[in-house]
Structure 1
């Protein structure tokens, strides 16, 4: 039986496993009927939390989720989606501006076939847009009843704190949740993000708990690298020739052996680890098939022993990202040298 957790300080109850819908649509399972059946299977198994985004397969994922929640299921699901990514050639069809938020929420509501979104999330930071502009627009949507709560995804600790400051000083609705990357191979958020979210009482729904497939059991030393659309589109994250990824492969191998000794699959070990952190509310799973979903269901009922947790810490030390590509967001000053060097006079 699913033991539901309180979503931050909202009083809303959510399942420890959140069904991520990124793999439903053109970038994953293109069969709408099968995708709907997978969603129904997850809901029937006790999951009551579904997360998607407008950019997943250019809105197709939201459309599929809308089909799955039709016929009375919508009222029993905590529904989350996101905005920020580009959805057209127009430079204003993206970002965190009031102009785009007010327009795009209507598109998401239409695709999802609902009158309200429980958690509307800023998919990524946008340093060129005043965060107060973003929170102002989102606060208006809360007051209009179109969204219930505001969340962020892959924000740095300083930006999380800024959001809380803006809400207090300028009378905006408060951000109540953060969605960061977190896995056995990407533990960087243990340093500051999770302590900050705990300090402010934010819910945390972590993405990529299987490290983009590295912890699915498919990546093993001596075996041929499995083909996947992610590997094709995110070469930096999956190129075995990279020293960072070679370290991930070594760690995945050691973790797989540890899981076997503990009587678990690597998938179960990975999900149970993420859910063990006191600052994590839910882990987002993103199955493409029934088989993948079934391999992940029930992981929230597994308790890892202290010995297993200590051995994990020896394989991947706390607060460590084995690869920067798994962090999900690179600050502009790191990407652009002009932002960290004085011009030559």
Structure 2
């Protein structure tokens, strides 16, 4: 396993992170979830990403139990705040009240005294940005949070947060967590250039496009039973945008490229996002330990310019690049 700095910070993270959005506490039983976490640890993955809202807070609980007994200093545990975690009007958003109550709940569920990275899960248009950033900074000063990041923020929102932090002496954002894959490249035109300039790293989710880039979805055929496309807990909403015959036909044309490199399709997809120097880590999820082991082996793979061009030649017409088509504030992960 290779490691990279998280943005311009001193924190090093594993190139492959393990995430539990749709699995822990939801799709798979706890024994399977624990086996996946231990497979990640065996492969040298030290970075684990979750959120308070995943599986209605259960994902944090499962991850906390799965990591219990591990050397805390050797782990990087990330979580997030924003989405509703209760029925009240203040059980959501990025107000000071919700941030403070959410971090205490996350720490309890994760069975830890601090998180390495606390991320604003979306931009909150109803709360002054200064209030949010001051609350995050106070948590850093209290030692409950070591670094602060965001997830699916637009370039102008990240820029404004950095400006306020510099003006008020707050800890700066060190990371953004966007969707990014061979098929979904909307961060490349605006977010990445800003973040490269400002020292903000990307922790990318869905590098395999919710499984589409494994090649398991075939044009003209229904999705395989048990796949993300048949999941009723949120996965289907994200994968369906890729389930057109044009996209699926072109994805099949990636198979000989992966074969020539001795890689699986999934490994090729994960390795591709890691070629971007602004990417600090790629998040992979899994319902079986062998999936973790397969994806982890994309770490350290170098793709030369000819390979990257072959990929672009195959996928070019179906790649989404429009920066306006980011994840809606009303959706997740």
With structure 1 as the length reference, what TM-score do the two structures score?
0.88
The alignment partner of 1:189 has SS state of coil
Bigger shift: residues 33-42 or 54-63: 33-42
**Structure 2: tracts of 5 or more residues without a match:** none
| Counterpart position of 1:150 | 148
Residue 19 to residue 234, structure 1, CA distance change in 2 (3 Å): closer
Residue 244 to residue 195, structure 1, CA distance change in 2 (3 Å): farther
Q: 2:85 aligns with which of 79, 87, 90?
A: 87
Whole-Å Cα distance in 1 between the matches of residues 128 and 297 of structure 2? Answer: 42
| Counterpart position of 1:288 | 287
| CA distances 1:245-289 after superposition (whole Å, capped 9, x unpaired) | 344223322223432344321101100100011111110001111
The alignment partner of 1:108 has SS state of helix
- How far residue 132 of structure 1 moved from its aligned partner, in angstroms, is 1.2
| Counterpart position of 1:180 | 178
Residue 88 to residue 140, structure 1, CA distance change in 2 (3 Å): same
Q: Is the 8 A contact 2:43 2:293 kept in 1?
A: no
Bigger shift: residues 175-184 or 65-74: 65-74
| Counterpart position of 1:277 | 276
- How far residue 181 of structure 1 moved from its aligned partner, in angstroms, is 0.6
| Aligned residue-pair number | 328
Bigger shift: residues 214-223 or 227-236: 227-236
The alignment partner of 2:286 has SS state of coil
- How far residue 129 of structure 1 moved from its aligned partner, in angstroms, is 1.6
| Counterpart position of 1:255 | 254
1:306-317 maps to which residues of 2 (within 5 A)? 306-317=305-316
Bigger shift: residues 157-166 or 220-229: 220-229
Within the alignment, does 1:302 sit opposite 2:301 as a pair?
yes
| Counterpart position of 2:198 | 200
- How far residue 13 of structure 1 moved from its aligned partner, in angstroms, is 1.5
| Counterpart position of 2:34 | 36
Whole-Å Cα distance in 2 between the matches of residues 88 and 221 of structure 1? Answer: 41
Residue 198 to residue 18, structure 1, CA distance change in 2 (3 Å): same
- How far residue 125 of structure 1 moved from its aligned partner, in angstroms, is 1.1
Whole-Å Cα distance in 1 between the matches of residues 188 and 228 of structure 2? Answer: 29
Whole-Å Cα distance in 1 between the matches of residues 147 and 32 of structure 2? Answer: 30
| CA distances 1:312-343 after superposition (whole Å, capped 9, x unpaired) | 122334994179998323699xxxxxxxxxxx
| Counterpart position of 2:218 | 220
Residue 243 to residue 8, structure 1, CA distance change in 2 (3 Å): closer
Within the alignment, does 1:68 sit opposite 2:69 as a pair?
no
Whole-Å Cα distance in 2 between the matches of residues 110 and 238 of structure 1? Answer: 32
- How far residue 222 of structure 1 moved from its aligned partner, in angstroms, is 4.0
The alignment partner of 2:253 has SS state of helix
Bigger shift: residues 262-271 or 251-260: 251-260
The alignment partner of 2:244 has SS state of helix
Q: Is the 8 A contact 2:61 2:109 kept in 1?
A: yes
- How far residue 47 of structure 1 moved from its aligned partner, in angstroms, is 0.7
Whole-Å Cα distance in 1 between the matches of residues 32 and 330 of structure 2? Answer: 38
Residue 145 to residue 217, structure 1, CA distance change in 2 (3 Å): same
Whole-Å Cα distance in 1 between the matches of residues 224 and 209 of structure 2? Answer: 15
Residue 181 to residue 13, structure 1, CA distance change in 2 (3 Å): same
Larger radius of gyration: 1
Within the alignment, does 1:23 sit opposite 2:22 as a pair?
yes
**Structure 1: tracts of 5 or more residues without a match:** 333-345
The alignment partner of 2:303 has SS state of coil
Whole-Å Cα distance in 1 between the matches of residues 62 and 264 of structure 2? Answer: 30
